Structure 1
Amino acid sequence: MITAWTLQILLGFAIAGSGLLKLTGDPAMVTLFADVAAGQWLRLVVGALEIAGGVGLLIPRVRALAALCLLALLLGATVTNLAVLHTSPFCALVFAAIALVILLLRRQELPTRSTSVPPRS
Protein backbone atom coordinates (compact mmCIF):
# COMPACT_ATOMS: atom_id res chain seq x y z
CA MET A 1 0.00 0.00 0.00
CA ILE A 2 1.95 2.96 -1.29
CA THR A 3 -0.64 5.46 -0.08
CA ALA A 4 -0.52 4.20 3.50
CA TRP A 5 3.28 4.14 3.59
CA THR A 6 3.51 7.64 2.13
CA LEU A 7 1.10 9.01 4.73
CA GLN A 8 2.87 7.13 7.52
CA ILE A 9 6.26 8.54 6.54
CA LEU A 10 4.97 12.10 6.16
CA LEU A 11 3.01 12.11 9.41
CA GLY A 12 5.74 10.20 11.24
CA PHE A 13 8.42 12.76 10.41
CA ALA A 14 6.15 15.74 11.06
CA ILE A 15 4.95 14.45 14.42
CA ALA A 16 8.37 13.20 15.56
CA GLY A 17 9.89 16.55 14.56
CA SER A 18 7.30 18.39 16.61
CA GLY A 19 7.99 16.08 19.54
CA LEU A 20 11.72 16.72 19.25
CA LEU A 21 11.10 20.48 19.46
CA LYS A 22 9.10 19.94 22.64
CA LEU A 23 11.76 17.73 24.24
CA THR A 24 14.65 20.04 23.37
CA GLY A 25 12.93 23.05 24.95
CA ASP A 26 12.30 25.10 21.83
CA PRO A 27 11.28 28.57 23.14
CA ALA A 28 8.03 28.54 21.14
CA MET A 29 7.06 25.21 22.69
CA VAL A 30 7.98 26.35 26.20
CA THR A 31 5.79 29.44 25.72
CA LEU A 32 2.95 27.40 24.24
CA PHE A 33 2.84 25.03 27.20
CA ALA A 34 3.18 27.93 29.65
CA ASP A 35 0.02 29.35 28.05
CA VAL A 36 -1.75 26.02 28.58
CA ALA A 37 -0.86 26.40 32.29
CA ALA A 38 -0.51 22.66 32.84
CA GLY A 39 3.21 22.81 33.54
CA GLN A 40 6.27 22.02 31.49
CA TRP A 41 6.01 18.35 32.45
CA LEU A 42 3.13 18.12 29.95
CA ARG A 43 5.40 19.43 27.18
CA LEU A 44 7.84 16.62 27.91
CA VAL A 45 5.12 13.96 28.03
CA VAL A 46 3.52 15.16 24.79
CA GLY A 47 6.93 15.39 23.12
CA ALA A 48 7.79 11.82 24.12
CA LEU A 49 4.38 10.57 22.95
CA GLU A 50 4.77 12.35 19.62
CA ILE A 51 8.21 10.85 19.01
CA ALA A 52 6.99 7.38 20.02
CA GLY A 53 3.94 7.73 17.75
CA GLY A 54 5.97 9.06 14.83
CA VAL A 55 8.46 6.20 15.09
CA GLY A 56 5.62 3.72 15.69
CA LEU A 57 4.06 4.64 12.36
CA LEU A 58 7.16 3.21 10.67
CA ILE A 59 7.12 -0.12 12.50
CA PRO A 60 4.77 -2.61 10.80
CA ARG A 61 3.88 -4.45 14.00
CA VAL A 62 2.55 -1.33 15.79
CA ARG A 63 1.74 1.17 13.03
CA ALA A 64 -2.06 0.83 13.31
CA LEU A 65 -1.94 1.21 17.08
CA ALA A 66 0.43 4.20 16.69
CA ALA A 67 -2.06 5.83 14.29
CA LEU A 68 -4.88 5.28 16.81
CA CYS A 69 -2.86 6.77 19.67
CA LEU A 70 -1.77 9.74 17.56
CA LEU A 71 -5.39 10.32 16.54
CA ALA A 72 -6.36 10.54 20.22
CA LEU A 73 -3.41 12.84 20.97
CA LEU A 74 -4.24 15.12 18.05
CA LEU A 75 -7.91 15.33 19.00
CA GLY A 76 -6.74 16.37 22.47
CA ALA A 77 -4.56 19.04 20.86
CA THR A 78 -7.59 20.23 18.88
CA VAL A 79 -9.65 20.62 22.06
CA THR A 80 -6.76 22.41 23.78
CA ASN A 81 -6.37 24.81 20.85
CA LEU A 82 -10.07 25.64 20.89
CA ALA A 83 -10.91 25.65 24.60
CA VAL A 84 -7.69 26.79 26.27
CA LEU A 85 -5.53 28.62 23.76
CA HIS A 86 -8.37 30.03 21.63
CA THR A 87 -6.34 29.42 18.47
CA SER A 88 -7.03 27.66 15.22
CA PRO A 89 -6.91 23.87 15.42
CA PHE A 90 -6.26 23.58 11.68
CA CYS A 91 -2.87 21.81 11.83
CA ALA A 92 -3.97 19.41 14.56
CA LEU A 93 -7.11 18.57 12.58
CA VAL A 94 -5.17 17.98 9.36
CA PHE A 95 -2.75 15.68 11.17
CA ALA A 96 -5.68 13.95 12.91
CA ALA A 97 -7.34 13.38 9.53
CA ILE A 98 -4.13 11.83 8.19
CA ALA A 99 -3.85 9.60 11.28
CA LEU A 100 -7.49 8.55 10.74
CA VAL A 101 -6.83 7.64 7.10
CA ILE A 102 -3.79 5.58 8.14
CA LEU A 103 -5.88 3.91 10.83
CA LEU A 104 -8.60 3.04 8.33
CA LEU A 105 -6.08 1.71 5.81
CA ARG A 106 -4.35 -0.39 8.49
CA ARG A 107 -7.36 -1.31 10.66
CA GLN A 108 -6.97 -5.02 9.95
CA GLU A 109 -3.64 -4.84 11.84
CA LEU A 110 -5.24 -3.72 15.11
CA PRO A 111 -5.23 -6.34 17.84
CA THR A 112 -8.62 -7.94 18.35
CA ARG A 113 -10.10 -9.65 21.34
CA SER A 114 -10.57 -13.33 20.96
CA THR A 115 -14.16 -14.42 21.33
CA SER A 116 -13.23 -17.99 22.15
CA VAL A 117 -12.88 -18.99 25.76
CA PRO A 118 -10.18 -21.52 26.61
CA PRO A 119 -11.56 -24.77 27.98
CA ARG A 120 -11.48 -25.31 31.72
CA SER A 121 -9.68 -28.30 33.07
Structure 2
Amino acid sequence: MRILGYILLVVLAGVFVMTGYNKVVGADMMVQTFDSFSYPKWTMYLIGGVELLSAVGLLIPRSRVLASGALTFILIGAVGSHLIYGQYGAIPFPAVLLVANIVVLIVSLRQMEDTDIEAVQA
Protein backbone atom coordinates (compact mmCIF):
# COMPACT_ATOMS: atom_id res chain seq x y z
CA MET A 1 0.00 0.00 0.00
CA ARG A 2 2.87 2.37 0.77
CA ILE A 3 4.38 1.83 -2.67
CA LEU A 4 1.08 2.67 -4.33
CA GLY A 5 0.88 5.84 -2.23
CA TYR A 6 4.35 6.93 -3.34
CA ILE A 7 3.53 6.18 -6.97
CA LEU A 8 0.39 8.32 -6.73
CA LEU A 9 2.41 11.13 -5.09
CA VAL A 10 4.94 11.03 -7.92
CA VAL A 11 2.14 11.14 -10.51
CA LEU A 12 0.45 14.04 -8.70
CA ALA A 13 3.76 15.90 -8.45
CA GLY A 14 4.33 15.25 -12.15
CA VAL A 15 0.99 16.81 -13.02
CA PHE A 16 1.94 19.94 -11.09
CA VAL A 17 5.36 20.07 -12.74
CA MET A 18 3.59 20.09 -16.12
CA THR A 19 0.92 22.64 -15.22
CA GLY A 20 3.36 24.84 -13.32
CA TYR A 21 5.87 24.73 -16.16
CA ASN A 22 3.19 25.69 -18.69
CA LYS A 23 2.29 28.72 -16.58
CA VAL A 24 5.88 29.81 -15.97
CA VAL A 25 6.82 29.64 -19.65
CA GLY A 26 3.60 31.38 -20.67
CA ALA A 27 2.08 28.61 -22.78
CA ASP A 28 -0.67 29.98 -25.05
CA MET A 29 -3.40 27.90 -23.41
CA MET A 30 -2.50 29.23 -19.96
CA VAL A 31 -2.29 32.83 -21.18
CA GLN A 32 -5.72 32.49 -22.79
CA THR A 33 -7.18 30.98 -19.61
CA PHE A 34 -5.84 33.74 -17.36
CA ASP A 35 -6.91 36.39 -19.91
CA SER A 36 -10.42 34.91 -19.94
CA PHE A 37 -10.52 35.39 -16.15
CA SER A 38 -9.20 38.98 -16.53
CA TYR A 39 -6.43 38.11 -14.07
CA PRO A 40 -3.13 39.98 -14.33
CA LYS A 41 -0.47 38.01 -16.16
CA TRP A 42 1.85 38.04 -13.12
CA THR A 43 -0.64 35.84 -11.26
CA MET A 44 -0.10 33.11 -13.84
CA TYR A 45 3.66 33.19 -13.23
CA LEU A 46 3.21 33.27 -9.45
CA ILE A 47 0.80 30.34 -9.44
CA GLY A 48 3.06 28.42 -11.82
CA GLY A 49 6.04 28.96 -9.53
CA VAL A 50 4.08 27.85 -6.49
CA GLU A 51 2.92 24.76 -8.38
CA LEU A 52 6.51 23.86 -9.32
CA LEU A 53 7.81 24.34 -5.78
CA SER A 54 4.85 22.47 -4.32
CA ALA A 55 5.37 19.57 -6.75
CA VAL A 56 8.83 19.11 -5.25
CA GLY A 57 7.41 19.64 -1.75
CA LEU A 58 4.93 16.80 -2.24
CA LEU A 59 7.84 14.39 -2.55
CA ILE A 60 9.52 15.52 0.68
CA PRO A 61 7.72 14.21 3.79
CA ARG A 62 8.59 17.25 5.95
CA SER A 63 7.16 19.71 3.45
CA ARG A 64 4.25 17.62 2.18
CA VAL A 65 1.59 19.27 4.37
CA LEU A 66 2.65 22.78 3.33
CA ALA A 67 2.90 21.84 -0.35
CA SER A 68 -0.44 20.06 -0.36
CA GLY A 69 -2.08 22.93 1.51
CA ALA A 70 -0.77 25.49 -0.98
CA LEU A 71 -1.94 23.40 -3.92
CA THR A 72 -5.35 22.92 -2.31
CA PHE A 73 -5.84 26.69 -2.10
CA ILE A 74 -4.71 27.13 -5.71
CA LEU A 75 -7.12 24.43 -6.85
CA ILE A 76 -10.04 25.93 -4.92
CA GLY A 77 -9.28 29.13 -6.82
CA ALA A 78 -9.11 27.28 -10.12
CA VAL A 79 -12.42 25.49 -9.62
CA GLY A 80 -14.02 28.71 -8.40
CA SER A 81 -12.71 30.72 -11.34
CA HIS A 82 -14.03 28.21 -13.86
CA LEU A 83 -17.40 28.23 -12.09
CA ILE A 84 -17.63 32.02 -11.95
CA TYR A 85 -16.70 32.42 -15.62
CA GLY A 86 -18.98 29.60 -16.79
CA GLN A 87 -16.20 27.36 -18.06
CA TYR A 88 -17.90 24.22 -16.81
CA GLY A 89 -16.05 21.85 -19.11
CA ALA A 90 -12.75 22.87 -17.51
CA ILE A 91 -13.86 22.06 -13.95
CA PRO A 92 -13.29 18.26 -13.76
CA PHE A 93 -9.48 18.37 -14.04
CA PRO A 94 -8.82 20.82 -11.18
CA ALA A 95 -11.66 19.24 -9.17
CA VAL A 96 -10.03 15.80 -9.34
CA LEU A 97 -6.67 17.34 -8.41
CA LEU A 98 -8.36 19.16 -5.53
CA VAL A 99 -9.77 15.93 -4.13
CA ALA A 100 -6.39 14.20 -4.54
CA ASN A 101 -4.64 17.05 -2.72
CA ILE A 102 -7.14 16.99 0.11
CA VAL A 103 -6.51 13.25 0.51
CA VAL A 104 -2.74 13.87 0.57
CA LEU A 105 -3.23 16.65 3.11
CA ILE A 106 -5.38 14.49 5.42
CA VAL A 107 -3.04 11.49 5.21
CA SER A 108 0.00 13.69 5.81
CA LEU A 109 -1.61 15.37 8.81
CA ARG A 110 -2.48 11.97 10.30
CA GLN A 111 1.07 10.77 9.77
CA MET A 112 2.34 13.89 11.57
CA GLU A 113 -0.06 13.20 14.45
CA ASP A 114 1.14 9.61 14.71
CA THR A 115 4.77 10.77 14.72
CA ASP A 116 4.01 13.35 17.43
CA ILE A 117 2.22 10.77 19.56
CA GLU A 118 5.12 8.33 19.23
CA ALA A 119 7.59 11.08 20.20
CA VAL A 120 5.58 11.97 23.31
CA GLN A 121 5.31 8.32 24.35
CA ALA A 122 9.04 7.71 23.94
Give the TM bin, normalised by the shorter chain.
0.7 to 0.9
Which residue in 2 is equivalent to 1:68? 69
Superposed displacement of residue 108, structure 1: 3.2
- TM-score, structure 2 normalization: 0.82
With a CA cutoff of 8 Å and minimum separation of 6, indicate the structure with the bigger relative contact order.
1
Unaligned runs of 5+ in 2: 114-122
Q: Which residue of 2 aligns with 1:87?
A: 88
Q: Which residue does 1:4 correspond to in 2?
A: 5
* 2: CA distance, partners of 1:110 / 1:51: 24
Q: How does 1:13-92 map to 2 (within 5 A)?
A: 13-88=14-89, 89-92=91-94
Please list the CA deviations of residues 62-97 of structure 1 after superposition, one character each: whole Å capped at 9, or x if unmatched.
Answer: 012211221111111000011025333100010011
CA drift at 1:2: 2.3
TM-score normalized by structure 1? 0.83
SS state of the match for residue 38, structure 1?
A: coil
Identity among equivalent positions (%) equals 27
CA distance in 2: counterparts of 1:84 and 1:52, whole angstroms: 28
Aligned-partner Cα distance in 2 for 1:110–1:69: 17
Partner of 2:117: none
- Structure 1: which 5+ residue stretches go unaligned? 112-121
Higher normalized helix content (fraction of residues)? 2
Q: Which runs of 4+ in 1 moved over 3 A?
A: 108-111
Matched to 2:68, the amino acid is A
- What is the number of residues matched between the two proteins? 111
Q: Cα distance 1:110–1:40, how it changes in 2: closer, same or farther (>3 A)?
A: farther
- Taking structure 1 as reference, are residues 71 and 19 closer, same or farther at Cα in structure 2, changes over 3 Å only? same
